[in-house]
Chain A
Amino acid sequence: MAAISQARPTTNQTTPVTPFAIPVVLWHVFLAGASLYAAVNIWQLPDFYTLGSIVQQFLGLVVGAYGLLALVTAFILARVWFMGATEADLTLRLGKNEIEMRGNGRLCAMGINYIGMVLAGLYLAHLLGVDSGIDYLAEGLFRNVTLLLGLPLGYLLVWIGWRLHESSPTRALLERVGLGIMGISLMLVLLASLARPEADNVVGGLVSHSVMFIQGWLTPPALITTGVVAVFGAVAIHMTRQSAAFNEKTSQRETWQGWLFLLPNLISFLLFFAGPLLLSFYLSFTNYNAISPAEFIGLENYADMFQLSVQQVPAGQTAASVLPALQTQLSEFTIGAQRYVIGARDPLFWISLGNTIRYCLLLLPMSIIPALALALLLNSKIPGMKFYRALFFIPSVAAVVGVALIWKWLYDPVIGYINYAISSITRFFGLADPQILWLTDTNVLLLAVVIMAAWQAVGFNTVIFLAGLQGISRELYEAATVDGAGGWQRFISITLPMLAPTSFFILVTTLIAGLQAFNEFYALVQENPTNAKLTSVYYLQQMGFERFQMGYASATAWVLFALIFVVTLVQFRLSNRASAYAD
């Protein structure tokens, strides 16, 4: 390979024809035909998993675009190879831009074939049952879990080896033996797992499983797919090797290399992020319920969600009688002697949103102020601070579901430690014991969840505050001390403003996490029968997966996203201002 920094000038040289030119062009023509045929068929499919026709039309367009690209590529390659078109012949002028089509044709060919190879490969893996293979693997690991003890044992040996001196022969020996034990135990577990879980005899199981795997491969669909993967791969590699023939430029090389590196990332991004995101946006405008075909209903979901009305209640009438049809009472208030009632089409949406916001407003001070205080305490050079920092961090490491079960019993009114502590303190001061029913009283339920969540978040926030504090230069404090500023003054005039970016960061991450709160509520108070436990995501989960109102649930998700988006935007604005202030 020559130096990459030298770009070759545009030449009038023709491209040498490879012996595979005819099959490669034919392959692209075939791909184009097949994709366009598939696109038409996908477009016409009667129904696609009840998702409605728009989804399959979109898929049809994507496949059609792929086919068109293949057709264009075949055309360019044919002109380059069979008609001796030079780079100059194939350069398009669009205004001021020159688009060099010969090299780009090759890049297109590579792109089409690499993507095709990966997709066909994934389909092949699916045909061969690799996805359910993971379940087999888990089953096998479970049955042979004792073999995995080799891993910690081997690691222990390696670890002991690393304690020894660099040149010691025992170190190398321990390292080798340890790695060997780890490798062998891993191999054994994998072999035993592959040997079908039911098999008593590992060798027999391996043989029979391999036979089944090969039999699965020898079916027509799997064989054809294997062939397709092979052709895609062969064409892709062949075109990659044509760099000199197509007079590849640095920018072109970087382009295919860059996209190739991104391919694994990008495929999962498109399949499991971008695609679902579009689908979610589309579904939010449908009445999708997973059973009957989705129908496009425009903004109806959003309109239902936001439908609110305030009505006067004349004396002697019930609130329900004055509300419009389909609305139920959300809350009521009185101005002077006049009673008013607020009705909503979907009161649960508002209740859950209200709970979520209240949760956030409580969580912010309770998880940030103690964290700031702890960070200030920990920000000194005396020994032991790292130990305390690590201890404070431990709660944020644990799963919320596990933590919630602990707190559920700590909150227990009879045997829980929290009420025990409260009643001990009140008895000491001679006050009445409040006997709080933390998880059943709807007035304190939210507070109970917030206390648990704050307890989990404080250590995390402390660590970030501490990093912010350690970034403040000592000179500022020294200068302030020389000017005669006291500890409190220094805190107000140096620490707080300098911490503003950190504080904003914590504020926003806490707020964004709080707006999406689900685990804390579901895990701690799922038994509570009232709506006090509903957060926005909890409501979405119930709407989508218990009542299967998936179109409506998607719409609530987008409303939540809009809320988070606004919060993030405000944060960007404010933190820019804050860091300008800190400078």
Chain B
Amino acid sequence: MAATTMTPQTKIRDERRQQMIWLWVQRIMLYLVLTLVAFLMIFPFLYMFFTSLKTADDVFHSPPRLLPYSPETIERNGEQVPVYAVQIDGVTREMVVDDSVPAVTFGWFTTAEQINAQNPEASAGLIQVPLDETTELPDAVTIDGENFDQFQVTINGQTQTLVLAYRRGLRLFVDINDPTITTYAAPRNTPQVEFVDPQWENYNTVIALNNLGRALVNTALVTVLVTAGQVSTSLLGGYAFSRIRFRGRDTLFLVYLGTIMIPFVVLIIPLYQVMVILGWQDSLVSLIIPWLFTAYGTFLMRQFFVTIPKDLEEAALLDGASRFGILWRIFIPLSGPAIATQTIITFLYAWNSFLWPLIIINAGNLNDQVVTLALNHLRNVAASQPNLVLTGAAVAVIPPMIVFVLAQRYFIEGIASTGLKG
């Protein structure tokens, strides 16, 4: 830079450009960081989704990989046989096992000096020869306390005495495109040719396996009824607390506020007994009726109604409108956002609740379970099939996400303004 020749104008322009560049660098960094965090937040769900599409074998592939794969098969002599990817002289070929040729036992030989006694497969200078083409010598040799058999092996016409490191049965592989190319290999150690193959039927399997479909319907029904009930009792109660000046109101309101602090665990045991007395244990009604009261919802509605100007309803009261008419025609139409917020939060709370159903619904009762219970059951039923367990998790987790995505605006703004913990 020739700083000496710069006019003041170009200097300012230069500084501005530098500032712009710095701003853009900052922004790109910001987006990068945010994208990284977003990836961390979303990745478990991606993992869940992709694993739910895998086969039971594919889940246990190590190292882990996201996409669901299945081995490629080909029809050969009227049977579906797997296709392997075999490397011959640096070229990867698609091959199948020739079933007509029985397994051939191969030996891996090396000299007594080169053998690795602790881990013979890692010995140096290993040579692979069919055992049939060698002759076993009667006496074994002991190296570092391990016994190894000795063989007469002919290599390129020269016969040597070598030590057998290990032996393995190999199958004849044939190239599917060019049958003249063959090789011997162990199917277990040869990578199979795989293709991306989502197992959508996992969803059908899991829904049938554990009566998960019924659990979904139950959960939806319970959630809808609890949400409708909570919103209506909150609307009525919130209206009374905000607009009607009745005796005992302020005391009762304080009592309601106090109950917000009381943790549910204090109520579990007596509530269970109340359900037993009413004969409601082990039935869906026990998940609905006790949950129609909500101090928090009543409080929220009251707080919202307090902000509605009084003039509107006073005019209506003078015109002879009933209290209920005022609530229905004036307050409810004005409180769309509050109702939406409470609806969504209650929906999520009811859908995701677990401790109460766990206690009140018997583990064996597949007809009255909800999704969270069904999932807890599924983890034991399908303990060795993570693909099915995660399919169940997807079934339980995706509906609330859809609701969230649809009603995201109300949700986040409602949370931000009320700070409600679901």
Minimum Cβ distance to chain A for residue B247 (Å): 5
Q: List residues of chain B with CB within 8 A of the CB of A395.
A: 41, 44-45
A518→B263 CA distance, assembly (Å): 13
Q: List residues of chain A with CB within 8 A of the CB of B45.
A: 394-395, 398, 406
The reply on A540 being an interface residue by CB < 8 A is yes
A100→B60 CA distance, assembly (Å): 80
Q: List residues of chain B with CB within 8 A of the CB of A162.
A: none
- Beta-carbon contact of A258 and B290 below 8 Å: no
Minimum Cβ distance to chain B for residue A398 (Å): 4
The reply on B192 being an interface residue by CB < 8 A is no
| Residue of B whose beta carbon sits closest to that of A464 | B419
Q: List residues of chain B with CB within 8 A of the CB of A402.
A: 48, 372, 375, 392-394, 396-397
Interface size on A, residues (CB 8 A): 106
- Beta-carbon contact of A254 and B244 below 8 Å: yes
Q: List residues of chain A with CB within 8 A of the CB of B47.
A: 406, 409-410, 417
Q: List residues of chain A with CB within 8 A of the CB of B263.
A: 512, 515-516, 557, 560-561, 564
| Residue of B whose beta carbon sits closest to that of A386 | B412
The reply on A94 being an interface residue by CB < 8 A is no
Q: List residues of chain B with CB within 8 A of the CB of A545.
A: 272, 359
- Beta-carbon contact of A134 and B244 below 8 Å: no
Q: List residues of chain A with CB within 8 A of the CB of B267.
A: 273, 276-277, 280
- Beta-carbon contact of B269 and A280 below 8 Å: yes
* Segment at the interface with A among B107-115, B123-131, B173-181, B275-283: B275-283
The reply on A382 being an interface residue by CB < 8 A is yes
Q: Which A125-171 residues have C-beta < 8 A from chain B?
A: 126, 131-132, 134-135, 137-139, 141-142, 145
Q: Which B347-398 residues have C-beta < 8 A from chain A?
A: 348, 351-352, 354-355, 358-359, 367-368, 371-372, 375-376, 379, 386, 389-390, 392-394, 396-397
* Segment at the interface with B among A259-267, A296-304, A317-325, A358-366: A259-267
Interface size on B, residues (CB 8 A): 117
Q: List residues of chain B with CB within 8 A of the CB of A205.
A: none
The reply on A416 being an interface residue by CB < 8 A is yes
The reply on A463 being an interface residue by CB < 8 A is yes
**Chain A binding surface, main DSSP class:** helix
- Beta-carbon contact of B416 and A560 below 8 Å: no
Q: List residues of chain A with CB within 8 A of the CB of B264.
A: 516
Please list the residues of chain A having a beta carbon within 8 angstroms of any beta carbon in chain B. Answer: 1, 3-4, 49, 51, 126, 131-132, 134-135, 137-139, 141-142, 145, 251, 254-259, 261-262, 264-266, 268-269, 271-273, 275-277, 279-280, 283, 290, 374, 377-378, 380, 382, 384, 388-403, 405-410, 414-417, 420, 455, 458-460, 463-464, 466-467, 505, 509, 512-513, 515-516, 518-519, 522-523, 537, 540-541, 544-545, 550, 553-554, 557-558, 560-561, 564-565, 568
Please list the residues of chain B having a beta carbon within 8 angstroms of any beta carbon in chain A. Answer: 27, 30-31, 33-34, 37-38, 40-45, 47-48, 51, 59-64, 213-214, 217-218, 220-221, 225, 232-234, 236-237, 239-241, 244-249, 252, 256, 259, 261-274, 276-280, 283-285, 288-293, 295, 298, 317-318, 320, 323, 327, 348, 351-352, 354-355, 358-359, 367-368, 371-372, 375-376, 379, 386, 389-390, 392-394, 396-397, 400-401, 403-405, 408, 411-412, 415-417, 419, 421-422
22 pairs from A and B in contact (CB 8 Å cutoff): A131-B283, A132-B285, A134-B225, A138-B284, A251-B246, A257-B240, A261-B244, A262-B241, A265-B233, A273-B267, A290-B273, A391-B42, A394-B41, A394-B401, A401-B352, A402-B375, A403-B393, A408-B379, A458-B41, A460-B421, A541-B359, A557-B269
